[in-house]
Structure 1
């Protein structure tokens, strides 16, 4: 058995080298610009696809290995330039959360671009590294694992030497520690950031090409390698290249050994197969350990400007706009054709889950990627309670919401010391672990889906197949739409009213400055736990509505990439406002806007993903407050220019009001 463990440990060097290379890219980017680049794995994906296409004649011509490798690296550098110039540089004065969301927009855009060009079929790229074998300790091992690992170690050593002894390394450290002093010394923080971004893209692109034959080339595997790479970067404190490299290689080795152990007869199984998601659970556990060892916060940077979070204006009217919107929705649910009626219902469910982001991210300033995972948990628990145990509505829904809310609160309690982008990194790993280990486990969920009986109350069917079918007489029934509408309006009013309460003001104080809030007598821990509870409750309600809407719950609907896309839509709509949640819901998967684009213009699926990624970047750069924020500013400006505002003011006083 020890020989087999050793063999799988060596085989894991290939994936470990890829993780280490992406981790090096993450650290280099953070050193240069202070941005945790979630799209580093996507750069490796783009380079791998470019190399495969150039060597296989995908574009109608075939290049030798050398020119194809040069072309793939040129693609990586081009992506780096575009990312820096179009995203990172305009966001240099933005908050860390906005910068993280910007890199998310790049990830979504690149993934959609690859899907549109190359499709969904995984590809096997040709190998540049030696394809022979080596005999060591009585084991026959592919030589490429040793070569790839040695190359990554050499890259780490070379980068370490550059940062330690070169003028470029000194400039990078100076810009990181004090941008103002660096500017006075004649250094350009923008130039330093660009150089580091290009260096990170080159490393990630090279490793993507070299490791492609070991891990398959597709639009999911390579981009998500950034998650274990982030664990390695956490161990490195986002500063140490050597620690990031070592941790990345060891993570890959550990995952390979864990895979071997999961195939043994004594290891717990899922319906006769190896337990799913163990490697993702390992990465999440390692992140928790890294935060405990290295501390919960990232190294602070000496930025030259103040970093501003999106504004959270106080809502002035609630009942009137809510009543008008509800009335319009009621009429639409009856009058619209069945497909648009379904899209409207999907939109409202999307609005509900985005409301959970308004609370946890908009009000408290914490990016939690677990919200969609909590929705999925509620949906699967609902299926077990109602279909498995026969618990009737509404008790089955309440039980599912309670279980998922407790899970969210537990995650919040365990992450009390984690804040901001650190929380986003950890919850991304947690969401991926829940997706793979829980949702893909057939005893709990499964990719085939589990059924959810329709909600009935006092013998009245309230589900999508109820007798009342609207004007066209087709499913889904408007009755279920009315149920979803009532829940959406109630939760929307609550979240808007929360901003007016003392708890809402304490949330904003914690978002602004946790230490200052604590000094003012605010219990920061209690505020965070309460925010996690409210946000988890809202996300869980969305999960139960989803289950009733489709009559089943499937793991494919609650992936980590889908969660990232949902965060993107939340930022586009306006993540600090309830009206932003309404806009985001209309853009979410299966909602009115995607359905209309599909039916009227044939724009579907991947094109919608591309639209979301590009829109997220444009929104963050041009309008950080989102669609709802822009509308609020226009209304405020209109009121400021109204003659009624200046009645009783002198001309000088009126001028001061406008300014």
Structure 2
């Protein structure tokens, strides 16, 4: 029992971070109605500033740096500067990112917070480097005796500090005029405005408080683990689980749930070392716990979680009903084939990868653009198909066509399983489920050496009736026959998508997206429609995962991380989340696509790609929520109208029937 107590105390270090991030999430949600997926990344920036000041006295800015000392700066001045930095981070996040989308659909709010997370994470990599850096502890290490057992005192002090700050947050909401007004605005923004309060100023102050509290927590915790751009960015996922346990409003429950979750994760890390613990469940089990918590809470209380009042609502972007147009399709295929023939080596591979990324973007178009469900787990589905492909081709010698179909069906089944919470929840809450699922699958499956060996997961070369379709053959690194195969698979899937999207199933998708209650009232089975949508999108993502596997010859977890999926979502939204054109744009500008390859060769953009795509996504969501493809379609329609022409009446559809337009915000 002594060892268990020691590990429980060590788990208080994680609990302290969850308290910090959870309080930040509560402050932001109560003030703006937005679930801030970037909370961990925002706090991480201030922690990096603190660490760099302690290392060499350099104040690192987003552009440039200032030397404040010839050597390491003291702890107190470094801490003060870091917290002042966090104030500016909160203000900039509010006025430049969250304020413009306060009345936007839940999809836009989720996407813009994800974009901010990607932007800050990429900026940290560019300015501080991708490697783990050591952080000096503010709290002196030591031991104390607790129930007769020597335990670390540092974690106890960290938790105490965060509890004191939590009391301050609770007192702000409970006793201050601004805090009470913030609570009132969260229930009825119009009423708060009529009473003379400015919801915008209240939100700005709450965002600053959230940034400062979260930064303090990350600074304290980073002295135990060091700073890593990915880990602290994704710590927001268990903090989101804590937020849901607290029903998105209770600071006290945030503290209690954070402590319990942190201690439980620490004890689980002890239990996995026991002889009786199954080997296959040793890796990533601590990341499965937040996912389980999220699912249980949302399934049990999802329909009763509070929502925030708003002065106005904005409908989702219009959807363009696709049609098969033989001549434009043949022209596009001809141009693509000509480029594949003309391009060589790396450029041909980039073009081929763009086609694969187009399929990943198409999976987002189906699930988010057409069905209105915010899924952040598409790369997990792609990875599941890819790793299944490795098993069936190497162990079962399954032929090419059957192998990719079987693997994609596995992905579809996984997608339908993740869809089950969507029966009760939607919008940002569903986004929490899917990102938690993505991280759990990544850590528990893809990084589990019992399932996916560290030496790699080889995939047998594809062949069709004796014809070698492999991407490589001797000195030839990007074979034309493989690129044509990828194009053929993508063409079949796109034609199937157009056929389905323009038929009864596509109309059912749009009806569910617009208003689930209205859809059910006209005889649409909402649950079945959601299952079909998740299954279709996961199947297409699975096909993309198989093609990624064949492109590499073997798979690793790095191909299907949560960050990769978020980047693909970013470029798909930039292109236009509600159309095939958006998926095509995503393929062209996506990571490792043809534009990426060209710019990388010319300018060696490296880590700047994620930064540029994150900034571009923020700008797109704010200024042009229909994306590049959608804006182009609107401009063409405007020109036709000026020239006296008209578009076919069935070419586009609005996101909600007129009779149900007022109810869209309630659904989303």
Flag whether TM exceeds 0.5 (same fold): yes
Q: Report deviation, 1:521.
A: 2.2
Aligned equivalents of 1:494 and 1:292: distance in 2?
Answer: 33
Partner in structure 1 of residue 180 of structure 2? 170
Partner in structure 2 of residue 210 of structure 1? 220
Aligned equivalents of 1:459 and 1:47: distance in 2?
Answer: 58
* Deviations 1:612-631, CA, capped at 9 Å, x for gaps: 11011000011001111111
Q: CA 1:296 to 1:123, structure 2 compared with 1: closer, same or farther past 3 Å?
A: farther
SS state at 2:150 partner: strand
* Deviations 1:298-335, CA, capped at 9 Å, x for gaps: 42221001132121122356333322111111011111
SS state at 2:230 partner: coil
Partner in structure 2 of residue 113 of structure 1? 123
With 503-512 and 32-41 compared, the bigger mean Cα shift is at 503-512
Q: Report deviation, 1:643.
A: 3.3
Aligned equivalents of 1:248 and 1:146: distance in 2?
Answer: 14
Q: CA 1:645 to 1:533, structure 2 compared with 1: closer, same or farther past 3 Å?
A: closer
SS state at 1:214 partner: helix
* In the alignment, structure 1 residue 80 sits paired with structure 2 residue 87: no
Aligned equivalents of 1:371 and 1:171: distance in 2?
Answer: 40
Partner in structure 2 of residue 657 of structure 1? none
Aligned equivalents of 2:646 and 2:457: distance in 1?
Answer: 58
Aligned equivalents of 1:322 and 1:401: distance in 2?
Answer: 25
Aligned equivalents of 1:237 and 1:608: distance in 2?
Answer: 37
Partner in structure 1 of residue 61 of structure 2? none
Tell me if structure 2 keeps the 8 A contact 1:164–1:170. Answer: yes
Q: Report deviation, 1:292.
A: 3.4
Unaligned runs of 5+ in 1: 468-472, 647-659
* In the alignment, structure 1 residue 434 sits paired with structure 2 residue 444: no
Partner in structure 2 of residue 26 of structure 1? 25
Aligned equivalents of 2:305 and 2:585: distance in 1?
Answer: 33
Aligned equivalents of 1:558 and 1:259: distance in 2?
Answer: 24
SS state at 1:299 partner: coil
* Deviations 1:273-312, CA, capped at 9 Å, x for gaps: x811110111111112222343246422210011321211
Tell me if structure 1 keeps the 8 A contact 2:299–2:421. Answer: no
Q: CA 1:555 to 1:134, structure 2 compared with 1: closer, same or farther past 3 Å?
A: same
Partner in structure 1 of residue 456 of structure 2? 449
Tell me if structure 2 keeps the 8 A contact 1:375–1:541. Answer: yes
SS state at 1:453 partner: coil
With 47-56 and 209-218 compared, the bigger mean Cα shift is at 209-218
Q: Report deviation, 1:168.
A: 0.7
Aligned equivalents of 1:394 and 1:521: distance in 2?
Answer: 37
User: Where in structure 2 are the equivalents of 1:479-558 lying within 5 Å?
Assistant: 479-558=481-560
SS state at 1:89 partner: helix
Q: CA 1:102 to 1:414, structure 2 compared with 1: closer, same or farther past 3 Å?
A: closer
Q: Report deviation, 1:447.
A: 4.5
SS state at 1:141 partner: strand
Partner in structure 2 of residue 462 of structure 1? 469
Q: Report deviation, 1:58.
A: 5.6
Find 2:386's aligned residue among 379, 387, 393. Answer: 379
* In the alignment, structure 1 residue 598 sits paired with structure 2 residue 600: yes
Partner in structure 1 of residue 658 of structure 2? none
User: Where in structure 2 are the equivalents of 1:384-403 lying within 5 Å?
Assistant: 384-403=391-410
Partner in structure 1 of residue 630 of structure 2? 629
* In the alignment, structure 1 residue 10 sits paired with structure 2 residue 20: no
Find 2:336's aligned residue among 309, 319, 329. Answer: 329
* Deviations 1:442-472, CA, capped at 9 Å, x for gaps: 23224542111111111111121369xxxxx
Tell me if structure 1 keeps the 8 A contact 2:29–2:36. Answer: yes
SS state at 1:140 partner: strand
* Deviations 1:67-87, CA, capped at 9 Å, x for gaps: 100111112111111111111
With 233-242 and 283-292 compared, the bigger mean Cα shift is at 283-292
Partner in structure 1 of residue 206 of structure 2? 196
Partner in structure 2 of residue 319 of structure 1? 326
Aligned equivalents of 2:175 and 2:209: distance in 1?
Answer: 17
Aligned equivalents of 2:614 and 2:87: distance in 1?
Answer: 20
Aligned equivalents of 1:248 and 1:310: distance in 2?
Answer: 37
* Deviations 1:541-594, CA, capped at 9 Å, x for gaps: 111111111111111111112112221111111111100000011122211111
With 151-160 and 592-601 compared, the bigger mean Cα shift is at 151-160
TM-score by length of 1: 0.94
Q: Report deviation, 1:414.
A: 4.5
Aligned equivalents of 1:405 and 1:392: distance in 2?
Answer: 20
Matched residue count: 636
Aligned equivalents of 1:643 and 1:145: distance in 2?
Answer: 72
Tell me if structure 1 keeps the 8 A contact 2:637–2:646. Answer: no
Aligned equivalents of 2:87 and 2:359: distance in 1?
Answer: 40
TM-score by length of 2: 0.93
Tell me if structure 1 keeps the 8 A contact 2:567–2:591. Answer: no
* Deviations 1:333-374, CA, capped at 9 Å, x for gaps: 111121110000111100001111111100111111121111
With 136-145 and 577-586 compared, the bigger mean Cα shift is at 136-145
* In the alignment, structure 1 residue 275 sits paired with structure 2 residue 269: no
User: Where in structure 2 are the equivalents of 1:541-580 lying within 5 Å?
Assistant: 541-580=543-582
Partner in structure 1 of residue 62 of structure 2? none
Partner in structure 2 of residue 653 of structure 1? none
With 491-500 and 164-173 compared, the bigger mean Cα shift is at 491-500
Tell me if structure 2 keeps the 8 A contact 1:366–1:421. Answer: no
Tell me if structure 2 keeps the 8 A contact 1:15–1:215. Answer: no
SS state at 2:419 partner: helix
Aligned equivalents of 1:314 and 1:405: distance in 2?
Answer: 24
SS state at 1:93 partner: coil
Aligned equivalents of 2:646 and 2:399: distance in 1?
Answer: 56
Unaligned runs of 5+ in 2: 59-66, 648-668
Q: CA 1:293 to 1:645, structure 2 compared with 1: closer, same or farther past 3 Å?
A: closer
Tell me if structure 2 keeps the 8 A contact 1:15–1:214. Answer: no
